[in-house]
Structure 1
Amino acid sequence: MTELLPAAGLTLADEILLAERLNEFVQDREAFSDNTWKQLLSVMRTGSRWASEHGRSFLPMSRADLRDYLLWLQASGRASSTVSTHAALISMLHRNAGLVPPNISPLVFRAVKKINRTAVISGERAGQAIPFRIGDLLRLDAQWSGSGRLQQVRDLAFLHVAYATLLRVSELGRLRVRDISRTADGRIVLDVAWTKTIVMTGGLIKALSDLSSQRLTEWITLSGLIAEPDAFLFGPVHRSNRATVALLNPLSTRALEDIFARAWREAGPGKDARPNKNRYRGWSGHSTRVGAAIDMALKKYSTAQIMQEGTWKKPETVMRYIRHVDAHAGAMVDLMDKYASS
């Protein structure tokens, strides 16, 4: 078992050992998702800047300094979920550096509890992407199917796959033409190598409906990608109305998010949708996951089934998405309605 270094008072030998462990940590960065690594680097930049400005130490960080840092984040307007992310990633950094995580202190535990309680009492609510529902998909399908614009053909196929598979944007971007196979009746099956929560050699299989299979087939046929098995499934479309065969780099997150923005302009509810947390003002990369989860809940699929389709590990995540579904049909509402009608 690796011996943990103290949170303060490091000797020269300790500092050398710390540098070695951090170097090993960086060398093994592939053990973490790109998003986790980007978040960690962002936290390190923010935390280091705070420590420098306030005469504190970021690594190692004492329990008192971490408490003050988290309270400073809240005072600076960060959401409680963001503060919790900073605390968790600082703990992860300390563990991988062989340091005692300051988060284990009751001082930090009370600070986090205080931050969460204050946030809830002050009216903070978790933001949620505007759902992209099955009705939205079919409305777009009626408007974009048969389009002479290759970009719309691609966008429609992408939205079909996004809704049908509940994959995350980054996971959709990694799909390649070779990941397509077909069932006996011609429907498409996608072989997803790995997801944020499922990393194993067996991968994940996602089947498409007849309509979604048809739209994806139209895209790879018209774009010519059907003859390019190593190309990313959803690549760029040049303004000359020709597809670019992308072999090295997938479409950026920004480019994929732009697909949702174009869909919103074409078929979104517009002013009828209320933005929340100044962030969700139209469909975004998470909208198909939220919308599909809501549609499944409305059709009485179980939470376990929804979790399986969306590769969610925690039922709390799914419940946050579908919390308004059948809210009027709770046990107490049912009980009181029965007494009122008797």
Structure 2
Amino acid sequence: MQLDTQALRPDDLSELMRQGRLRGIRIEEDPRIQEAMSRFRQEFLDSQDAYSPRTVMQLRSMWGQFDEWCIANELQSCPAELETVKRYLSLRAEDKHRNTLAMDNWAIGKIHRESGCPDPTIDTSVKKLLKALTRKKIIADEGIKQASPLRECYLDELEHRWSRSPLLADKRDIAILMVAYESMLRVSELARIKLCHLKVNPDRSAVLLIPRTKTNHSGEPDVTVLSRQAMRLVQDYFELAERRFDTSLDEPLFIGITRYGKCANSREPLRYSTFDRLYHRAWEVLDLESAGIQPFTCHSTRVGAAQDLATAEFNALQIQQSGRWANESMVLRYCRGIMAEDGAMAKFRNRRR
């Protein structure tokens, strides 16, 4: 029977490979099969609009490192042998965080599935190895780094400095940080805000529609409110940038700035690297290094806002809803120190202090 490789889909090819291996046949060595694998991988690369740019970047990075390691060691990366994957994960575990190992495992499995190859990461031996490596790191007290919180007190100081500045970058950046703090948006979500997502209220606060978030792909937008202070900073930025503040426009709320300090002609959303530099600049301006505080990251406003809400005695569910987390686990991680003070034993022993 002649095999029609054009009619194959990734799951079909993966099953054929599994059946072939049971019979001692390596069909992936057939040029027609290799062509099908290349076709499937290209289809996947062409459909990456279904994923966030950051997810695509992480996938390319993690897979690229595995592929380069395989080439350097004269091993096949796709389809990879179980021992190849286990050896790679064990080597990475020597100096990489357990979260990085999980990303390695995810990238290897994803590329195999999309290429029509059996996924080696679902094998019991690989799962057990990853679990053992993770457990070993937990026992060794390997923590999960938390972004330095950008609290309201820091935001107030930045607002005092930058809102009065004649520089467009200062005006834009304080507006970004204020909107990021109040909306508790991730930077990928922040970059997607458009003017038409805003509805200004009579008191000059605004309702912000958030069409899509990490936890909401339903098509029904989430809604949050921006204060009058946040909207004043946004409009100050627009005025200095000589942009028209028209909430009927389908263009990004925040855009780039040229090397000459002028508003960019392009109406493209800001890139992750721009936000990354912005947060680091805020940390430098506040001179927090002298206080031993680690640099801000793009997650710092979410962490800071969550901690400020916890300090103001909002409960975990209320904070979870404000930050649009799928469950309370991230809230508890971000606010564990603050919430510990509200625990039963802390209250019981408070009189002993």
Q: Distance in 2 between matches of 1:314 and 1:234?
A: 30
Gaps (5+ residues) in structure 1?
275-280
The structural deviation recorded for 1:112 is 0.9
Instruction: Give 2:266's aligned residue.
Output: 246
1:58 counterpart = 2:77: yes
**SS of 2:224 mapped into structure 1:** strand
Describe how 1:208-227 pairs up with structure 2 within 5 A. 208-227=226-245
Q: Distance in 2 between matches of 1:328 and 1:119?
A: 28
Which residue identity does 2:117 align to in structure 1? Answer: L
RMSD: 2.5
Once the two structures are aligned, what percentage of the paired residues are identical?
27
Deviates more, 1:302-311 or 1:5-14: 5-14
Q: Distance in 1 between matches of 2:147 and 2:34?
A: 44
Instruction: Give 2:27's aligned residue.
Output: 10
CA offsets 1:44-93 (integer angstroms, 9 cap, x no match): 21111121222322111222221111001112x11111011110222222
1:193 counterpart = 2:220: no
The structural deviation recorded for 1:160 is 0.6
**SS of 2:208 mapped into structure 1:** strand
The match for 2:118 among 94, 100, 106 is: 100
Checking the alignment, whether the CA contact within 8 Å between 1:231 and 1:245 is kept in structure 2 is: no
Which residue identity does 1:244 align to in structure 2? Answer: A
Instruction: Give 2:344's aligned residue.
Output: 331
Checking the alignment, whether the CA contact within 8 Å between 2:198 and 2:207 is kept in structure 1 is: yes
Q: Distance in 1 between matches of 2:52 and 2:261?
A: 34
Describe how 1:60-99 pairs up with structure 2 within 5 A. 60-75=79-94, 77-99=95-117
Which residue identity does 2:59 align to in structure 1? Answer: L
CA offsets 1:221-275 (integer angstroms, 9 cap, x no match): 332222573443222334655423431x22332222222223222225332134x
The structural deviation recorded for 1:150 is 2.4
Which residue identity does 1:111 align to in structure 2? Answer: L
Change (3 A) 1:315 1:67: farther
Instruction: Give 2:3's aligned residue.
Output: none
Change (3 A) 1:304 1:45: same
1:236 counterpart = 2:256: yes
Instruction: Give 2:291's aligned residue.
Output: 272
Instruction: Give 1:278's aligned residue.
Output: none
Checking the alignment, whether the CA contact within 8 Å between 2:235 and 2:245 is kept in structure 1 is: no
Q: Distance in 2 between matches of 1:20 and 1:146?
A: 56
1:288 counterpart = 2:301: yes
CA offsets 1:266-303 (integer angstroms, 9 cap, x no match): 225332134xxxxxx31221110111111122223233
Instruction: Give 2:183's aligned residue.
Output: 165
Q: Distance in 2 between matches of 1:35 and 1:242?
A: 27
CA offsets 1:73-129 (integer angstroms, 9 cap, x no match): 112x11111011110222222222333221222211221122112212333211111
CA offsets 1:120-148 (integer angstroms, 9 cap, x no match): 23332111111001111112222233322
Instruction: Give 1:321's aligned residue.
Output: 334
Change (3 A) 1:93 1:317: farther
Checking the alignment, whether the CA contact within 8 Å between 1:177 and 1:225 is kept in structure 2 is: no
Instruction: Give 2:313's aligned residue.
Output: 300
Deviates more, 1:229-238 or 1:60-69: 229-238
Checking the alignment, whether the CA contact within 8 Å between 1:133 and 1:295 is kept in structure 2 is: yes
CA offsets 1:293-314 (integer angstroms, 9 cap, x no match): 1112222323333233223224
Instruction: Give 1:25's aligned residue.
Output: 44
Change (3 A) 1:214 1:108: same
The match for 2:196 among 173, 178, 186 is: 178
Q: Distance in 1 between matches of 2:213 and 2:283?
A: 26
**SS of 1:171 mapped into structure 2:** helix
Give the alignment's TM-score, normalised by structure 1.
Answer: 0.87
The match for 2:171 among 147, 153, 159 is: 153
Q: Distance in 2 between matches of 1:227 and 1:322?
A: 37
Checking the alignment, whether the CA contact within 8 Å between 1:225 and 1:231 is kept in structure 2 is: no
Checking the alignment, whether the CA contact within 8 Å between 2:203 and 2:228 is kept in structure 1 is: no
Give the alignment's TM-score, normalised by structure 2.
Answer: 0.84
Q: Distance in 1 between matches of 2:259 and 2:43?
A: 45
The structural deviation recorded for 1:218 is 1.7
Q: Distance in 2 between matches of 1:151 and 1:28?
A: 35
Instruction: Give 1:115's aligned residue.
Output: 133
Q: Distance in 2 between matches of 1:102 and 1:282?
A: 38
Q: Distance in 2 between matches of 1:155 and 1:36?
A: 25
The match for 1:48 among 57, 67, 74 is: 67
The structural deviation recorded for 1:334 is 4.6
**SS of 2:253 mapped into structure 1:** coil
Q: Distance in 1 between matches of 2:191 and 2:206?
A: 17
